[in-house]
Amino acid sequence: MSIPFWCLFFAALLIYLAKIPVAKAMREEGGGYDNRNPRAQQARLSGLGARAVAAHQNSIEIFPLFAAGVLVAHSTQTQGYFIDLLAALFVVSRVLYLFLYWNDKSSLRSLVWVVGLLCCLLLMLSPAL
């Protein structure tokens, strides 16, 4: 399997790894994890719990763009070091993004988010480059 496809796999896993602090915050919220109505409970979270929910949701939002970029590069047979670098840099940026979001480092988090977005866009444009 190619590096971009491995990165796609890891980016998908990150969506679910980003949920771990959300579940922990929900358990600590008072009544434990509300499996009957988890979204209402998530809406009540504050602090780290609320930031963890937002980071998880952002992971879901960015994944289709990254997947599209990887698939555009693959379907046009655009490959090489640059494509591998973009895919790997995206995954690294997403890991950093999660940690920065959880730790309330908003300015640096936004910068790292832009790096990930640029990776996605460059992957989508890679056949033209």
**What pLDDT is attached to residue 87?**
98
**What pLDDT is attached to residue 34?**
86
Among 42, 44, 59, residue whose Cα is nearest residue 99:
59
**What pLDDT is attached to residue 85?**
98
**What pLDDT is attached to residue 122?**
98
**What pLDDT is attached to residue 10?**
98
- In the 8-state DSSP scheme, what is residue 42? H
CA 67 – CA 92 distance, rounded (Å): 15
Per-residue pLDDT of the chain (129 residues; tens, 9 = 90+): 899 999 999 999 999 999 999 999 999 987 788 889 989 999 999 999 999 999 999 999 999 999 999 999 999 999 899 999 999 999 999 999 999 999 999 999 999 999 999 999 999 999 998
Domains and CATH numbers, the chain: 3-128 (1.20.120.550)
CB 36 within 8 A of CB 78: no
Reduce the secondary structure of 73-111 to three states and give it as a string. HHHCCCCCHHHHHHHHHHHHHHHHHHHHHHCCCHHHHHH
- Report pTM: 0.93
**What pLDDT is attached to residue 14?**
97
The tokens of 115 are what? 């790096």
